[in-house]
Amino acid sequence: MKNEIYPCLWFNNNAKEAAEFYTSVFSDSGIISESEFAVALHLSGQRFLCLNGGPQHIINPSISFYAIYEKEKDLDRIWKKLSGEGFIMMPYERYEWSEKYGWVQDKFGVSWQLSLGKIGNTGQRFTPSLLFTGTNSGKTEEAIHFYTSVFKNSEIIGILKYKSGENDIDGNVKHAQFTLGKSMFMAMDSSYPHKFTFSEGVSFVVECDTQEEIDYFWDKLTEGGHESMCGWLQDSYGVSWQIIPSILEKLMSTPDKAHKVTEAFLKMKKFDIEKLLIAAEQGEPVQG
């Protein structure tokens, strides 16, 4: 399996505005494709999807993006742009783990942890960071073992735990790094009272080449969780995933097929590639 994993951000019908903002903030970025439903973009070579989802779900800090920069002037510039009209969760200053670090929610609600450091420590500019709160607090290590068992070629890089007398429960995860395939992730526990937990506001898209792969991830990730519609599911920790066929973008980008394909997948929970291809063949030619 060589499945690509990338984040999807849920917006209240302003995905294009958000995408244009992020591509203006981060260098080496641009919009890949867009439709009335979503905007695909790359930020420093990493894929993100901005969804026009409506008001049903709101992005919150339970999943943030840890961004590493090696030059302080670059970090200063990005912090200024993201914190403008945003909400500062941790001040931009020196900490024990970084000479310069800050945690901010931007004006669209997306959370970023900006840190001065070596990009070689993660191998990627942006690393999703999962914060296990509420009833999930204390389950970070369990979740990491679960995710790395589901995704092939995964690895636990390191798990640092709180000690007695530190700022959380002894044994809770202070910071962890792990890979799912080629993608780096971070995770931590927090026993503090938070008003947020995992939601559909931020989900992870898993692209699959075959029906066998779709079936595999769907079955594994819904264990203890629940199914939703159109390839969406929530796992037992409440983290949202979209298990989609890699051919979907191509089908949706073809005007004479997109309508029928959309009609087909709106009726599905788990995606069925064969039914999508049949629907595509039934598409009506565009009238010139």
* Cβ contact 271:234 at 8 Å: no
- pLDDT value for 89: 97
Model-wide pTM > 0.85? yes
Give me the DSSP letters along 198-263.
--TTEEEEEEESSHHHHHHHHHHHTTTSEE-STTEEE-TTS-EEEEEETTHHHHHTSHHHHHHHHH
Angle at 158 (CA atoms; ends 152, 159), nearest 5 degrees: 110
Which residues, in sequence order, are bridge partners of residue 30?
A: 42
> Any idea where the domains of the chain sit in the sequence?
1-57+200-230
- The string of pLDDT tens digits covering residues 167-219 is 899 999 999 999 999 999 999 999 999 999 999 999 999 999 999 999 999 99
- pLDDT value for 251: 85
- The string of pLDDT tens digits covering residues 112-147 is 999 999 998 899 999 999 999 999 999 999 999 999
For the cut 90, the answer to whether the pLDDT of residue 257 exceeds it is no
| Percent helix, strand and coil across the chain, each to the nearest 5 | 25, 35, 40
Q: List the single range of 22-36, 88-102, 164-178, 241-255 with lowest mean pLDDT.
A: 241-255
Q: Tell me the CA distances in angstroms from 75 to 47, 72, 78, 84, 145, one per residue in order.
A: 21, 5, 5, 14, 33
- pLDDT value for 288: 29
- pLDDT value for 255: 75
CATH 2.30.40.10 fits 1-57+200-230, yes or no: no
Q: Tell me the CA distances in angstroms from 55 to 217, 226, 227, one per residue in order.
A: 28, 21, 20
- pLDDT value for 250: 85
